[in-house]
Amino acid sequence: MTKRVGPITLDSDAADCITVLNLKEYRLYLKKEFSDWKKNPRSETNPSGVWMHPEDVEINTRLIEAMNTVIKYFGK
């Protein structure tokens, strides 16, 4: 089976692999950002720490869990 995206046609396995690789890369980015913040959060007593908006903390945590579910579904 093939998938057509604009002018590009890929077989399903290649398209799925590209999708999973992109999800893994973005998940790694979010995990690093979250880890950096947890190690050194900005506060009044630590103004040089890493800042993360409280909504981003919640959203990114849920997003990482959702990505784990999707990646697990693909079996990779």
Question: Looking at the 3D structure of the chain, how many domains does it have?
Answer: 1
Considering only 14-18, 31-35, 48-52, which range has the smallest mean pLDDT?
14-18
**DSSP-derived secondary structure letter, 41:** B
Residues 16-25: pLDDT tens digits?
898 999 999 9
Q: How far is CA 51 from CA 18, 19, 44, 65, 73, in A?
A: 32, 30, 11, 22, 33
Residue 59, pLDDT above cutoff 80: yes
Instruction: Express as a percent the part of the chain with pLDDT over 70.
Output: 95
Range of the domain at 30: 2-74
